[in-house]
Amino acid sequence: MTTASLVPAPHQSPLVANAACIGSMLIWAVGFPLADELLRLLPPLTVGVLRLSMAALFLLPLWMLSDGGRELLRADWGRGLIIGAIGVGLGALLLIFAQSRTDGITTAVILATMPVAAIALECLLDGRRLTVRLIAGIILSTGGGVAVYGARMGHIDMGLGALAALLSVVVFAWGARASVKALPGLSALGRTALTVTGGALIALLVQAGLELSGGPSVPWQLIGMREWLYLAIYGIGSLAIAQLLFLIGVAGLGVGLATMHMNIAPFYVMVVALAFGAGWNWAQVGAAGLVALGVVIAQGRGRRRA
């Protein structure tokens, strides 16, 4: 396998890029119910550190084998690690903290507003014009996020969990944009491996700093075979492989169109969560529909131009 095979050609069929995004969201959604199970036993920081570390340990050898390490040696490691530390590491730690305070379905619905966050960043950083359609989409998506939180928790209380999830949306959106803008010469595999490695390093530094300051260490004694299996799926599948497929989709569709696939992720999570005993919540389905409607309205013109 060569790295060139992981970068869609400029005129590649949108079918391939959309299929990559769909696959990414399906695999990504599996991780949320697994994280709920892991958080019943392990601290959020432990889950985040082990998830990022396992993803990096999977991706780096794969990247080296893909072309004999040539791209790995010429990559801009400094820039890539910084983007990964913020866009992947900080985002992943905020995400797992948010899920520890809420649940997987609620977190996934809040993350479905990411396309709106990406558009807002384009307005701020790339000079995109703020339109009435965009403003209406942001209002609907934000209102839907608040409503789904209330439907799930039984009340509307934008506490630390919801705030962390919303902040992770901005961080992830910035990271996706930065990885494409700042690392244009790398394959999708290279961008994924490099940024995930940056995320793993910052997570390990946070864990080390916590232990050196007298905080709790990783509770290895609590991690059995079931937990290692869940962590492997959560790290290698729901992060490494899902992120790789997502960046393949971004390369073929652009960040805005690719992130629109995230709107359906909460429904995937809800279906998967049924296997873990979660109930079906029609109020939450309706609120999630508001999120999707808001994002479609916000990006409607962009889709027609594309």
Residue 300: pLDDT band (50, 70, 90) is low
Q: Percentage of residues in the chain with pLDDT exceeding 70?
A: 73
Looking at residue 261, what is its pLDDT?
Answer: 72
Task: Flag whether pLDDT at 263 surpasses 70.
Answer: no
pTM for the complete prediction? 0.80
Question: What whole-number distance in Å separates Cα of residue 181 and Cα of residue 176?
Answer: 9
Question: What whole-number distance in Å separates Cα of residue 261 and Cα of residue 277?
Answer: 26
What are the pLDDT digits (tens) for 181-227? Answer: 888 888 889 999 999 999 999 999 999 999 999 888 999 999 999 99
Residue 272: pLDDT band (50, 70, 90) is confident
Q: Could you count the other beta carbons within 10 Å of the beta carbon of residue 84?
A: 30
How far out from the chain centre does Cα 161 lie?
A: 16
Domains in the chain: boundaries: 29-305
What are the pLDDT digits (tens) for 130-188? Answer: 677 667 766 776 666 566 555 555 555 557 887 898 899 889 888 888 887 888 888 88
- 270 and 105 Cβ atoms separated by less than 8 Å: yes
Tokens at residue 126, please? 């790339």
